[in-house]
Amino acid sequence: MNWLNQRARQHLIDWRAAGLERTPSVFSAGQEPVCTIDGREYVLFSSSNYLGLAEHPEVTAAAEQALQLFGAGSGGSRLTTGTTGLHTQVERAFADFLGYEDAVFFSAGFLANTGVLQALAGPDTLILSDERNHASIIDGCRLAKAAGAAVVVCRHRDPAHVDELLAQHRGDALVVTDGLFSMDGTLAPVPELLAVCRSHGAALMVDDAHGTGTLGATGRGINEHFALDGDRPDILVATASKALGVEGGAVAASAPVAALLRQKARTFVYSTSSTPATCAAVVAALGVVEGEGSPVKALHRNIARLTEHLGMGQWPSPIIPVPVGDEARAVQAADTLRQAGFFVPAIRWPTVPRGAAMLRVTVMATHTDEQIDGLAHAISQL
């Protein structure tokens, strides 16, 4: 056996022994409230398809039409042969939806975050990154470091710490944070961060992956939630992979920043672009969110129904943490819910700190009252 196989085997043995091995559940159909997973029917409370758009007839019809017209793949990267009218349309649609001058569409949210941080960082840049930021921001910071930037990890949701760190720095600085933290469903204090950034001449980048389509009365995300009409984060990353039910990540920014990203972000320049069918589906999904029958209100109503049952008061997001603490108890609680027919994951270290294990419930606009009440009852019996 060569060293590579030997190393892989040993890593897997160690990984398993540390209790970190994960095996994916296999879905037999789309992410609807009732679905078959590993051959058994469950009520699904763990999907990011918050608005039920993955299976929306207007979204799937748009994808099918583009598939017929353009075929399955895009045939190249954006700057070579991989730009269709649908690619430019999806970028315009995101910019208008989010209220920015321009938007650049990457084939995943992960690639958007890494691409932005790599492209905008230089030897003279300081990046301040929240300690609980998503892995794609962490990896983007690593690329920025390789380009000579300094990266400092700051305390979670703590504008005073950001203020303190910016006060010690002379030169360009970029503060980067998740908007809606994907594990515990809490929001970054964006208005306060914006004020601190402005007082030091720093720029602010917010990853609104889970806020797009879910936050704000019309689903326009964290800026709408905080009623940021004038000054806004300089860079807003929105994903099409969660509430919009498709895939891809859009970076909304000023015209010059967007233009620079199209030239310099390596995950944009050197990767095959999204399929035209993906772009068509995203444009259709944004149209549904903006349209008369928008599912955003139904999502908000369902969030309010479940969080009221759980005694959580006003809760802003569709990600609802049920704290358990002990890792083994959290796994047991998830198993008990599964036996009762509800699919809810247990989240443990290293995704969250040790001893802070929890159940991570996500709500969809398409859940019925009965399904929500049933889950709340099952949780109350744990």
Ligand X SMILES: Cc1ncc(COP(=O)(O)O)c(C=O)c1O
Tokens of 327: 């890792």
In the complex, the smallest distance separating the C-beta of residue 235 from ligand X, rounded to whole angstroms, is 13
From the candidates 87, 225, 242, 300, give the one annotated as an active-site residue: 242
210 is annotated as an active-site residue: yes
Q: Are the C-beta atoms of residues 220 and 98 closer than 8 Å to each other?
A: yes
Output 184 or 234, the one with its CB closest to ligand X: 184
Q: Are the C-beta atoms of residues 317 and 184 closer than 8 Å to each other?
A: no
Cα distances (angstroms) measured from residue 95 to each of 60, 139, 145: 22, 25, 29
Q: Which residues of 78-95 are buried (b: 16+ CB within 10 A; e: fewer)?
A: beeebbbebbeebbebbb
Q: Fill in the per-residue mask, 221 to 260: x = in contact with ligand X (CB under 6 A), - = not in contact.
A: ------------------x-x-------x-----------
- Which residue type does 330 have? A
From the candidates 74, 136, 182, 273, give the one annotated as an active-site residue: 182
Stretch that binds ligand X, among 140-148, 163-171, 207-215, 258-266 (CB under 6 A): 207-215
In the complex, the smallest distance separating the C-beta of residue 249 from ligand X, rounded to whole angstroms, is 5
* Residue 209 within binding range of ligand X, rule CB under 6 A: yes
Which residues are CB-neighbours of 153 under 8 A, at least 6 positions away? 128, 129, 130, 131
242 is annotated as an active-site residue: yes
182 is annotated as an active-site residue: yes
Rule CB under 6 A: which of 98-117 touch ligand X?
Answer: 108-110, 113
Choose which of 84, 136, 307, 317 interacts with ligand X (CB under 6 A): 136
In the complex, the smallest distance separating the C-beta of residue 209 from ligand X, rounded to whole angstroms, is 4
The two most distant CA atoms of the chain are separated, in Å, by 62
Tokens of 208: 């609104």
Output 100 or 378, the one with its CB closest to ligand X: 100
Number of residues that bind ligand X (CB under 6 A): 14
Q: Which of 378, 342, 50 lies closest to 213 in space, CA to CA?
A: 50
Q: Which of 272, 271, 273, 266 lies closest to 118 in space, CA to CA?
A: 266
Rule CB under 6 A: which of 173-202 touch ligand X?
Answer: 178, 182
Give the residues lining the site for ligand X (CB under 6 A).
108-110, 113, 134, 136, 178, 182, 207, 209-210, 239, 241, 249
Q: Which residues are catalytic?
A: 182, 210, 242
